[in-house]
Amino acid sequence: MFKGSITALVTPFKNGNLDVESYENFVEFQILQGSAGIVPGGTTGESPTLEYFEHKKIIDIAVKISKGRVPVIAGTGSNSTKEAIELTKYAENAKADAALVVTPYYNKPTQEGLYQHYKAINDSCGIPIIIYNIPGRCVIDMSVDTMSRLYELKNIIGVKDATGDLNRVDAHLKAMGKDFLMLTGNDENAHEFNKRGGSGCISVSANVAPNLCSKFQKLSLSGNFDEAKKIFDQLFDLHNILFVESNPVPAKYSLSLMKLMNDEVRLPLVTASEISKEKIRKVLEQLSII
């Protein structure tokens, strides 16, 4: 169910507020362009600066607009276990298909603390949970042993791996077997990730090029790696340029060029510099996106 090109949705704003109309249209755009799933309320959706009611609202919108056509994996993580439980319960009640729960940032828990955090969430709900391991943002790195322990719990089904370490795919496969869901959080390693046994990508680039990302994933997951590599190579510059400044700043500027929303972000993020805008525009033109 959770495989292929899954978009980590940006959250559009207008004059400081959630831009509901643009968000609804954007969810529909993603589905029509072939995305295999959507993630509202993740890092790319600027979850750290979303008001609590906004976070819940974008989950509701994603479920309402998708109408079961693609799975909705709601971002419900927090460095507060209590808050993560509340958001995950909300996502379950809102009929999201799964929850994406990031490792607790800033607190720097031990491996046992990580285990107990996820166990508490697991024990409080009945929705599938995907662990989001991203040491670059959260400082901590969940070990394979800890993930293996968590996989024994009823709701833990897999990982969004944003370590950038492809050897983790092999280690996870060895420790937990082929039924453990492995999605990469790094567009730039998606080809090799799938070759090693991954099932897709929770993607930033799919915000901007959902159709191409979907085609790449379908070819890759069907075992047609040579044809998939041709599309992957086409997308390579996009994967890089979308991180020329902090995510989702470049993605939002790209989407503004595509007339899908404006490029407004919330402090402490700021809109892209003129130098970055020029680089982004050039890549989008090369891909005939604009």
Judge whether 286 and 241 are in contact, CB under 8 Å: no
Residue 56 known to be catalytic: no
Task: State how far the alpha carbon of 24 is from the alpha carbons of 39, 42, 78, 207, 250, in Å.
Answer: 13, 17, 25, 14, 21
Q: Angle 129-63-211 (CA atoms, 0-180°, nearest 5)?
A: 90
H, E, C per residue of 211-266: HHHHHHHHHHHCCCHHHHHHHHHHHHHHHHHCCCCCCCHHHHHHHHHCCCCCCCCC
Residue 132 known to be catalytic: yes
Choose, from 132, 215, 218, 277, the residue flagged as catalytic.
132
H, E, C per residue of 132-178: EECHHHHCCCCCHHHHHHHHCCCCEEEEEECCCCCHHHHHHHHHHCC
The residue written with tokens 């390579």 in the block is 236
Peptide bond into 268 cis (omega under 30): yes
Choose, from 3, 160, 277, 279, the residue flagged as catalytic.
160
Among 113, 101, 107, 206, smallest CA distance to 158 is for 101
Judge whether 203 and 6 are in contact, CB under 8 Å: yes
Active-site amino acid positions: 132, 160
